[in-house]
Structure 1
Amino acid sequence: MHIEKAILDQVNIWLTPTFDNNTHEAIREMMTSAPKELEDSFYKNLEFGTGGMRGIMGVGTNRINKYTLGKNTQGLSNYLKKCFPNEDIKVAIAYDCRHNSNTLAKVVADVFSANGIKVFLFSDMRPTPELSFTVRHLKCHTGIVLTASHNPPEYNGYKVYWQDGGQIVPPQDGEIIKEIESLEYSDVNFKADESLIEYIDTAIDEAFRDSTIANASFNTSKPAKENLKIVYTSLHGTSIKAIPGVLEKAGYTDVNIVKEQAEPNGNFPTVKSPNPEEPEALTMAMELADTINADIVVGTDPDSDRLGVAVRDTNGKMILLNGNQTMVVMTHFLLQQWQKAGKLSGTEFVGSTIVSTPMMLELASAYDVECKVGLTGFKWIAKFIKDFPNQKFIGGGEESFGFMVGDAVRDKDAIAAILLVCEIAAQAKEKGSSLYQELLQMYVDFGFYKEHLISITKKGIEGANEIKQMMIDLRENPLKEINGQRVVCIEDYQTSKGKDFMNGEEFSISIPKSNVLIYYLEDGSKICARPSGTEPKIKFYFSVNCQVESINDIPEAEAFLEAKIKNIIAEMQLN
């Protein structure tokens, strides 16, 4: 096959003495037996997306390896020295259970130390939320976690956090990328200064656990905690290092761990995908729940920022809640608790994202609390906390199974969220209700919102072009009617412009630019198209709603809303 000259130029750079013999051998092997793989490995540089930098491990500029991460770290080191010229710079580094995470973390630590930067490196894998906590706890200037979250086993990644404990956001990310791109691979200093690398362990674990319990506990009685039967799975990930200890110290004594999934393992052998968004991932946990008649199932992804929750419905059947449902249940509970404690003064806020359920706005309005809505990714919620220091953050989430309780951790945090959801379930059970019944009552009180997500995977160069074309078509040939409902408004976050078709007025969007397009229909339906920032996917988010008079009306209303979503998908030819 023909490979473009620009790609071959990059390949030839990687065949110079700057790179080791193993790299040379791998490239030569691809040149003879896998030219398509060679092209994909070198046709671009990995970029920072909504969840940092993620990619397949291997050789090449479009892969996660010693050299791409070394170059990132060298660029970040240079940037830190420019930002903090007269300070002793400190960085915290954590890593998850993935293949090579520990060795890649040491490479990153080596490069920082070679540049005279003090490194706090966890001695073993740790949850991502603990890294966010550690950055602020140790007063570090930045933090790195080696993880690819819920991606398949062949992936790894590199997330960058700033002083506030949140992930980097514009313009910083762009400035760091410029610094990285100004470097040659030969500029990377891999010669570690071991005296600057300090291994951290139990003291941080204890501080993180105590902070989690303080933030996510709400006066649940001892009998209620002991009476809640919990099934928990770490899906072979890092949360096994934190959640059992947090739940035990918080007073939950009936915690049943899925033993087959308790051992950290980068192959994730018992699941197709270690993603709690996927119902299959929690199959073993739900089977155990039925065997022992548990009240609730909780599970996390490999780096422990996402949580899955399953509860019993009104017929006693264990069902998996989606991310929007868990988010509104937790947000409503937090708002209730803050109100009961007399802590709502008018300066508080909750956080959400443009692709999440509009029900968050209804909840916030009911309690006279602001709901700040940002782009996809918790770095934007963390930015709200930093940008509005005179407002108090209560909690917030996004549809992709993430939630943040308070501001001790500045990223989605499955550990605090799981403790919080157990508090809700325990208190509900004690009063003769259940978490699911609480959710149903919310639908009566605030409106019944139903959401659905379609992810379309398009791999490689051709796939990236297909996704690009889909977005061009939606922009240049906008739909005027969907499922018999007029499109009343379109918001284009790439141009920061919107248009209200009811009055013909255009308006500006203050949220930072992003490749997202949202259609609003006259019946309150919402359709969002967004290419993923970390995976070769385009995602379509659907939200529909209606009013219900009582819980008894919900089954009929749900069937109506399900049919509406199916019709919209069919009309948009996304089946």
Structure 2
Amino acid sequence: MTSWERVYEKWNSFQQLEPSLKEELDQLEGDQTALEDAFYKELSFGTGGMRGVIGAGINRMNVYTIRKAVNGLANYLLEHTVNVKDRGVVISYDSRHMSREFALETAKVLGAYGITAYVFTSLRPTPLLSFAVRYLGAVSGVMITASHNPPEYNGFKVYNEDGGQITPDQASKIISYIGETQDELLVPYLEQDQLEEKELLNWVKDEIDNAYLERLVQISKLHSDEIAEAKQMPFVFTPLHGTAYELVTSGLKQLNFNNVHIVGEQALPDPEFSTVTSPNPEEHQAFSMAMELGKTIDAEILLATDPDADRLGVAVKKHTGDYQVLTGNQLGALLLDYILSHSDKALLKSGRMLKTVVTSELGRAIADSYGIKTINTLTGFKYIGEKIHEFDATGESFVFGYEESYGYLISSFARDKDAVQAAMMACEMAYYWKKQDKTLLDVLHGLYEKHGFYLEGMTSLTFKGKEGSEQISAIMDSIRQHPMESIADFQVEKIEDYLTGERIIVDEKEKVEEIELPNENMMKFILEQDSWVCLRPSGTEPKIKCYYGVCGKNVQDSKDKLTALQKEMDEQLNLSTKR
């Protein structure tokens, strides 16, 4: 009997197994492939938490894998933080299947250790959870969400006492404690009535929302008289069946945007996300209904948030009347320029703009023009949150942070990407430029003309299951063993291997520089003519992603260069899978 079969037998013979999970195991009986995938490994707890398909097995999201993760978190908190039991842990959840149940399971295990849990009475966005940790002075936060993954997924995301996603060092310690949990089926927990009797479960209602909205209105760059005036510019907003409806509409109302139209079919929470192929604003199909409504009311821009409201997508009306979906890099550049152009120059002297290594260099060019230093981080907003925390000690000032995957943060009262902040600022920005007879596309073209025609792209390959994980590892190994000297006739000038932390200067083969960032399985090729390519396995999905960036003489030149890079890398990746 193999190791996974022994674990399966343990689950299958467990008398107290949750009935729905027992039923699933009965249905899978005899399906060796499905059972092996469910039991061959434990669901990976990465640098921010875990995410996976809901179902039976140690490689699935269920009450037992949740309990084991919380058991490790509780032991970590008791050993490494102070006043844990009194300060407690804040728990929020989104609209996915089992989200509320997993939130309560989290509280039940914490309660067994005497740790107070603050649980929202209904679903709330991720950025509100980040804010709540700081507002309540809690020792940690947990968000039950799988962000924009398909409906069959859910996840468990951990936040530290600063309100940011846990750092790699903190995650490593938590993983160690999780590993010490011998049997996920026997983790201690209290029932809900026991928690309430012992006052270890506190239900959170509207207090946090109101405090958040008070801070939200303060990020506006409009003068008080401009805020007070009624704004009839039409917008369309869709929360894509997720958590953002209340906070986004309330935030816009505070600025007197009175002509906001909601996509009614997508306004209510729906764990199946039944009106979209994917609840991801990065996917253009997610805007289909918003575009239909936008054309009906002649809306200037369309807003779409993902299920846990940490990502924002924006589509802008073109002069033809159709809509163009902005990339995350484009919206980030527009927001950055608007914020810096409306900020006190004296306050910007110590200002810092944060972006990831795969985010457009247009942001750096804009920041440079305002005298703002740009700092690169690894991919993942946890690294941006960690840098903001460092600024508290260094005296540097955070002015804006973003990543190409539709994540933005304008004010650090939250410490994770915040689609609510970004939605409000995007509407304000569109309103400001409309008063000057410009669309956001006009402004974007002006930024290109001034700073360079930067263009970016991303493609990905999906590999599911155990075999898929092995294929992704093989691709990265192959690229390392056979590094490219040129890509699509662009000579490679530098090779950055973030796993080893080394930057190789190709023309000076003996010259190796240290990359002052944490280690991560990612490789970036810096090419001539301000171009680059980066390969990175996803930390949340069974994918390997390839990012591209160019800066051409004009829009068409940039498009041609990007197409050439993408074609070459598609061929290289196909070759790597065959090696």
- Please confirm whether the aligned pair reaches a TM-score higher than 0.5, indicating the same fold: yes
Structure 1 residue aligned with 2:222: 218
Once the 2 structures are TM-superposed, how far is the Cα of residue 124 of structure 1 from its aligned partner?
0.3
Using the size of structure 1 for normalisation, the TM-score is: 0.94
Once the 2 structures are TM-superposed, how far is the Cα of residue 543 of structure 1 from its aligned partner?
0.5
For the 8 Å contact 1:51–1:377, the answer to whether it is kept is no
Structure 2 residue aligned with 1:532: 538
| Counterpart pick for 2:128 among 119, 130, 146 | 130
CA distance in 1, matches of 2:321, 2:22: 59
DSSP 3-state at the match of 1:190? coil
Structure 2 residue aligned with 1:308: 313
CA distance in 1, matches of 2:234, 2:200: 46
Once the 2 structures are TM-superposed, how far is the Cα of residue 190 of structure 1 from its aligned partner?
1.6
CA distance in 2, matches of 1:560, 1:572: 19
**One-letter identity of the residue aligned with 2:551:** N
Once the 2 structures are TM-superposed, how far is the Cα of residue 314 of structure 1 from its aligned partner?
4.4
Matched, 1:196 2:207: no
CA displacement, residues 435-488 of structure 1 (integer Å, 9 cap, x when unaligned) = 111111111111111011101111011111111111111110011111112111
| Counterpart pick for 1:440 among 433, 445, 454 | 445
DSSP 3-state at the match of 2:400? strand
DSSP 3-state at the match of 2:90? strand
CA displacement, residues 35-79 of structure 1 (integer Å, 9 cap, x when unaligned) = 211111111111233653110001111111101001111111111
CA distance in 2, matches of 1:111, 1:482: 52
Matched, 1:420 2:425: yes
CA distance in 2, matches of 1:371, 1:165: 23
CA displacement, residues 529-557 of structure 1 (integer Å, 9 cap, x when unaligned) = 00000100010001111245xxxxx4x44
DSSP 3-state at the match of 1:58? coil
For the 8 Å contact 2:263–2:293, the answer to whether it is kept is yes
DSSP 3-state at the match of 1:238? coil
For the 8 Å contact 2:48–2:158, the answer to whether it is kept is no
| Counterpart pick for 2:378 among 367, 375, 379 | 375
Matched, 1:73 2:70: yes
| Counterpart pick for 1:16 among 7, 14, 17 | 14
CA distance in 2, matches of 1:314, 1:519: 38
Structure 1 residue aligned with 2:414: 409
CA gap 1:23/1:567 in 2 versus in 1, 3 angstroms: closer
| Counterpart pick for 2:111 among 87, 99, 113 | 113
**One-letter identity of the residue aligned with 1:381:** I
Once the 2 structures are TM-superposed, how far is the Cα of residue 304 of structure 1 from its aligned partner?
0.4
Greater alpha carbon shift after TM alignment, 310-319 vs 74-83: 310-319
CA displacement, residues 317-336 of structure 1 (integer Å, 9 cap, x when unaligned) = 31000111111111111111
CA gap 1:511/1:545 in 2 versus in 1, 3 angstroms: same
CA displacement, residues 182-229 of structure 1 (integer Å, 9 cap, x when unaligned) = 012255222142221010111111111121221244338258861321
For the 8 Å contact 2:87–2:138, the answer to whether it is kept is yes
CA distance in 1, matches of 2:249, 2:544: 36
Matched, 1:7 2:7: no
| Counterpart pick for 2:79 among 78, 82, 97 | 82
RMSD: 1.9
Structure 2 residue aligned with 1:156: 154
For the 8 Å contact 1:227–1:426, the answer to whether it is kept is no
CA gap 1:143/1:489 in 2 versus in 1, 3 angstroms: same
For the 8 Å contact 1:532–1:539, the answer to whether it is kept is yes
Matched, 1:491 2:496: yes
Structure 2 residue aligned with 1:523: 529
**One-letter identity of the residue aligned with 2:132:** T
Structure 2 residue aligned with 1:551: none
| Counterpart pick for 2:174 among 170, 173, 176 | 176
> Percent identity, aligned pairs only?
37
**One-letter identity of the residue aligned with 2:516:** S
**One-letter identity of the residue aligned with 1:214:** Q
Greater alpha carbon shift after TM alignment, 260-269 vs 110-119: 110-119
Structure 1 residue aligned with 2:517: 511
DSSP 3-state at the match of 2:106? helix
Matched, 1:209 2:213: yes
**One-letter identity of the residue aligned with 1:524:** D
Once the 2 structures are TM-superposed, how far is the Cα of residue 108 of structure 1 from its aligned partner?
0.8
**One-letter identity of the residue aligned with 1:135:** V
CA gap 1:104/1:563 in 2 versus in 1, 3 angstroms: closer
Within 5 Å, give how 1:92-491 maps onto structure 2.
Answer: 92-184=90-182, 185=184, 187-192=186-191, 193-194=195-196, 195-219=199-223, 221-222=226-227, 226-339=231-344, 342-345=346-349, 347-389=350-392, 390-491=395-496
CA distance in 2, matches of 1:560, 1:225: 45
CA distance in 1, matches of 2:105, 2:142: 12
CA distance in 1, matches of 2:230, 2:221: 11
CA displacement, residues 371-425 of structure 1 (integer Å, 9 cap, x when unaligned) = 1111111110000011221111111100001101120110010000000111110
For the 8 Å contact 2:47–2:166, the answer to whether it is kept is no
CA distance in 1, matches of 2:564, 2:337: 27
CA distance in 2, matches of 1:39, 1:65: 17
For the 8 Å contact 1:126–1:239, the answer to whether it is kept is yes
For the 8 Å contact 1:483–1:571, the answer to whether it is kept is no
For the 8 Å contact 1:224–1:426, the answer to whether it is kept is no
Once the 2 structures are TM-superposed, how far is the Cα of residue 561 of structure 1 from its aligned partner?
3.9
CA gap 1:375/1:443 in 2 versus in 1, 3 angstroms: same
* Structure 2: runs of 5+ lacking an equivalent: none
Once the 2 structures are TM-superposed, how far is the Cα of residue 29 of structure 1 from its aligned partner?
3.1
**One-letter identity of the residue aligned with 1:173:** A
CA gap 1:330/1:86 in 2 versus in 1, 3 angstroms: closer
Once the 2 structures are TM-superposed, how far is the Cα of residue 567 of structure 1 from its aligned partner?
4.3
For the 8 Å contact 1:452–1:543, the answer to whether it is kept is yes
**One-letter identity of the residue aligned with 2:560:** F
CA distance in 2, matches of 1:563, 1:536: 25
CA distance in 2, matches of 1:558, 1:243: 35
DSSP 3-state at the match of 1:350? strand
Once the 2 structures are TM-superposed, how far is the Cα of residue 312 of structure 1 from its aligned partner?
2.0
**One-letter identity of the residue aligned with 1:116:** G
CA distance in 1, matches of 2:541, 2:431: 37
Once the 2 structures are TM-superposed, how far is the Cα of residue 89 of structure 1 from its aligned partner?
3.6
**One-letter identity of the residue aligned with 1:138:** L
CA distance in 1, matches of 2:24, 2:562: 50
CA distance in 2, matches of 1:277, 1:455: 13
DSSP 3-state at the match of 2:219? helix
CA distance in 2, matches of 1:289, 1:224: 23
Greater alpha carbon shift after TM alignment, 520-529 vs 140-149: 520-529
CA distance in 1, matches of 2:319, 2:507: 42
For the 8 Å contact 2:316–2:324, the answer to whether it is kept is yes
**Equivalent pairs, count:** 563
CA distance in 1, matches of 2:255, 2:410: 16
Matched, 1:560 2:560: yes
Matched, 1:35 2:32: yes
For the 8 Å contact 1:234–1:302, the answer to whether it is kept is yes
DSSP 3-state at the match of 1:163? coil
For the 8 Å contact 2:306–2:312, the answer to whether it is kept is yes
For the 8 Å contact 2:229–2:256, the answer to whether it is kept is no
CA distance in 2, matches of 1:127, 1:218: 25
Structure 1 residue aligned with 2:549: 543
CA distance in 2, matches of 1:480, 1:442: 32
